Every structure is written in C-alpha cells, then in structure tokens.
Chain A
Amino acid sequence: GESVGLHLPTLSVQEGDNSIINCAYSNSASDYFIWYKQESGKGPQFIIDIRSNMDKRQGQRVTVLLNKTVKHLSLQIAATQPGDSAVYFCAGGYYGGSQGNLIFGKGTKLSVKP
C-alpha cells in the first residue's frame, strides 16, 4: 500500500555540523512532497516543499533533494543549531489535491549536541 517512511527514527548531530534526514516513498504517483518540523509540545510547522518536476530546492539553511528514480527525498540542514532539535516529518501527496491524499512519514527525531 501507500506509505511514506523515514530511514532512521533518531539522529544526533553536533552543533554546527550539517544534518541529513532521509525519507522514502512508495507511491510513484505522488508529485508533491513537504517537510514539517515539530517541536516538543507544538504542532508541526511547514519547512520546505518540492514538486516532482524539481530535483532540488533550497530555503534558508535547508535544502530538499528529490530522487524520483529511487523514490527518495532528503532534508539537509546546514550548520545545525540547538533550535533545530525537533521531530521532522516528510509528507507526500498530489499537488493541489486534498488532505485526503497526503501521507505522513513516521518522523525522525533530531537531537543537536552543543
């Protein structure tokens, strides 16, 4: 069935290092992917998105890479800071579609060591 998953449930990095969080998806029809960040006790917040007609998209200190051949995407965080400590979710769906088609992965917990 349809699924969006993450390779590692936890990731620990040193402050200042780069972080890479991976995600795999199974539905090749998904054409839109989003990364959300969830801090403790709060709801998820949008970080960055990418459509399937792109391989890479950059934001402020974050980059998302999409490899459609192997159905894999990654979130790269440059110069990781303590404030980046959170759970990160990838989600896949259809661009312009309803929430009914949006599937969330299980999340990776990022811990940043000072």
Chain B
Amino acid sequence: NAGVTQTPKFQVLKTGQSMTLQCAQDMNHEYMSWYRQDPGMGLRLIHYSVGAGITDQGEVPNGYNVSRSTTEDFPLRLLSAAPSQTSVYFCASSSPDSSLLLHFGNGTRLTVT
C-alpha cells in the first residue's frame, strides 16, 4: 500500500492564482483531513471529511475549498492564493474505529509570492 499520497511536493504560485492540492489514500479510510503547518504554530486543521459527500470546516478554513466525491480522494483548492497561505500542507486519513490515529502524507510545500 502507498498509504497517503500528496501531489505536488512543491509548488510556487503568484498571488491571485488558483490551484488544487491532491490527496489520495489507498487504505479505504473514511476519514480524511487537511492541515497546514507553519513555523511555531504546529498543525492546524483546515477542512475534514468523515465520508464521501460530507465535509466540514476546521480551525482555519478561509481561502480553501474541499469536496469529497470518492472515499479515496480529498483535494484541497486554493481559489485565489495569498502570501499568508505560504505553508506546508498535510493530508491525513483515518478509519472510524481509530479516528484520531492519523496517517499523514509527506506534505506539499507551497510558496505564494
């Protein structure tokens, strides 16, 4: 199993551009989530999903959209990138019976200039 796969690994955007960060998992996990990691801030939850068709906002959802059309995929969309969105983004998945034992991808490092 590949686990949680995130693409791309690195991305540079100009302010105002849009893009989608991809996340796929092959563990048949119902729960998926997106975090951003900034220096000195730990991991902060952006959006999460408890199953296909269901999403909810986390601590820092502004500027990001998500959808969950399949169990495997949970893309994160930046509609109009801002320098404040420069960060490392992690996708995670878990199963309902171990909902907080998160399996993380290796992250996407995003720079917005």
Contacts and interface: CB of A to CB of B under 8 A. Distances in A.
B101 to A, nearest CB: 5
Interface of B is mostly: strand
Contact of A49 (B4, B101, B104): B101
Contacts of B31: 98-99
Chain A interface size range: 20 to 34
A91 B50 CA distance: 19
A44 B104 contact: yes
B101 A99 contact: no
A89 B35 CA distance: 14
Contact of B106 (A42, A46, A98, A102): A42
B107 to A, nearest CB: 6
Nearest to B96: A96
Given A46-B101, A49-B101, A106-B40, A99 B106 contact: no
Interface in B81-100: 90, 92, 94, 99-100
A89 B42 CA distance: 8
A70 to B, nearest CB: 21
A43 B100 contact: no
Interface of A: 9, 32, 34, 36, 41-46, 49, 89, 91, 93, 95-100, 102, 104-107
Given A102-B100, A102-B102, 6 more contacts: A9-B40, A41-B106, A43-B105, A98-B99, A99-B102, A104-B44
Interface of B: 4, 31, 33, 35, 40-45, 48, 50, 56, 58, 90, 92, 94, 99-107
16 contacts: A34-B100, A41-B106, A42-B107, A43-B90, A44-B90, A44-B102, A46-B103, A89-B43, A96-B99, A97-B100, A99-B48, A99-B58, A99-B92, A99-B99, A100-B48, A100-B58
